[in-house]
Structure 1
Amino acid sequence: MKFQKLFSDDAGESRWADIEVNLVERSFAPPAQNIEISEPEDVRRMMFLRLRAGWDEPIHPTPVRQRLVCLAGAVRVTASDGETREIRRGDVWHMEDKSGKGHHTCVIGDEDFEAVIVQFE
């Protein structure tokens, strides 16, 4: 299992990285069988969001460290270093580029983009 991380390097460029999620088999909901699960992370809040088809924003950094889980639709996200990725249903995007040049996001296709955002700070 992996997620896509967008972060700022020391020069202020936003860059992408693929992060492997470490899963460990353990008892989670006894008496159910053991499952593979990651370590828990403390979070501050969770929200749902919708970006309407055609939505296009100016380049900006993320306001807080947060993780987005795409439920429907797709966006194209371009880091300031020029690398572009598409976030689609089921993808997880971790945003940490709180400083520097930021990233550009636009909805692609004619379907609204819907997601869950989990904020860590």
Structure 2
Amino acid sequence: MIERKNLRYTVIASTPDGGSTFTEAEIGLAERTLAVGVPAMAVGDMSSTAGAAYLRSEGFDSEPHPAPARQWVVMLRGAIEVTTTDGECRRFAPGDVVLAADTEGRGHTTVAVGEPPFEALFIPTAS
């Protein structure tokens, strides 16, 4: 039997003053069999729409920007540092999940750090 756990992720959220900040959230995981003959796994649902994108960049250093769409960012390779307008900076590395939800206002900055390339999946959310 799989122990029920939650997947913790970070949200980059817009603030009422047009800035951005980090918050924490969780996706509930439950034991589920996905296919006959495959052992049950801890599975959590993530809302999404069509159009996931794979990104690879040798260098990434952005100007302040809002997220182009509300989207999941699943880190695959390399690391990035994201700074919100309240001055907080966080590093995200392979296996980290971020919900970029600051689609309005001044947004955030993103810088690739460490050994290139930076690789991630961007998955637009349904809500």
- Give the TM-score, by structure 1 length: 0.87
Q: CA deviation at 1:72?
A: 0.8
The percent of aligned pairs where both chains have the same amino acid is: 32
Contact 2:27/2:45 (CA < 8 Å) preserved in 1? no
Contact 2:79/2:92 (CA < 8 Å) preserved in 1? yes
Corresponding residue number in structure 2 for 1:10: 16
Q: Which runs of 5+ in 1 are unaligned?
A: none
The residue type equivalent to 1:112 in the other structure is: P
Deviates more, 1:39-48 or 1:82-91: 39-48
Deviates more, 1:43-52 or 1:32-41: 32-41
* C-alpha distance in 2 between matches for 1:79 and 1:118: 21
Q: Which runs of 4+ in 1 moved over 6 A?
A: none
Question: Size of the alignment, in residue pairs?
Answer: 120
Contact 2:10/2:98 (CA < 8 Å) preserved in 1? yes
Q: CA RMSD in A?
A: 1.7
Does structure 1 residue 109 correspond to structure 2 residue 114? yes
Corresponding residue number in structure 2 for 1:82: 87
Corresponding residue number in structure 2 for 1:65: 70
Q: CA deviation at 1:75?
A: 0.9
Does structure 1 residue 29 correspond to structure 2 residue 35? yes
Q: Which runs of 5+ in 2 are unaligned?
A: 1-6
